[in-house]
Amino acid sequence: MAGAIDHGKLSADADAIVGDILKAAGSWAKEVPPDLTLPIRAVCVRLAEMVADQRHYLTPLPEPQETERQTVLTLVAERMRSSTVTKGIERHLEQLAERELRATGSWSLVANSQAEWITTAIAYLETCCELLPEDLRPDPYWADDVVGGIVVSVKAIIGTDDLHVRIESQYSGGKRPTPTNQDDPA
């Protein structure tokens, strides 16, 4: 029988992930005018919530790792929606949600919706940038760079980046498959 799940540890793991996501948001906002900090944080928070909600579509792990992963990702998604995380960015999250309803389908089920969401996030940040005086605006492709970086950062922090998922599906349970062709020395 598998050992009992340590909910305190999993909660601490979720808190650490949320902290890392918020640090990543701050990092991506460092080199832009301060008026763009909150929109960048909103994009990062919304993406993290969506990625954590993907938990049902990941390749299952052996127990108890699967239950632990599901629990941590559920906690992360819940925390990303909490008032502690969303305080100060509510207006930006509402504006993003409005754009998402028009542009994207189900993040987890429709592959294109991920690309559409990225386009929506870029357009949102560009709109925020247009509100700044022209001399304070970042270069024309800054939003593409920021959203691309946020996507990679969040997926890596949460553990759902493409490389991680491919490796996980190949070596589920941490065990390498045994070679089927015994004649091949490689």
Tell me, rounded to whole angstroms, the distance of Cα 135 from its chain centroid: 32
Rounded CA-CA distance 94/27 in Å is 23
pLDDT tens for residues 89-120? Answer: 999 999 988 887 665 555 445 556 677 888 88
Tokens of 131: 């509100």
Which pLDDT band, with edges at 50, 70 and 90, does 83 fall under?
very high
User: How many helices and strands, by DSSP H and E, does the chain display?
Assistant: 8, 0
Is 159's pLDDT higher than 70? yes
Helices (H), ranges, 83-185: 83-86, 90-103, 111-130, 142-158, 162-170
Tokens of 16: 């650490």
User: Is the CB of residue 165 less than 8 Å from the CB of residue 52?
Assistant: no
Q: Which residues contact 162 (CB under 8 A, 6 or more apart)?
A: 155
Segment among 55-69, 73-87, 92-106 with least mean pLDDT: 92-106
Task: Break the chain into its structural domains and give their ranges.
Answer: 7-170
Q: Give the other-Cβ count within 10 Å of 104's Cβ.
A: 19
pTM metric for this prediction: 0.76
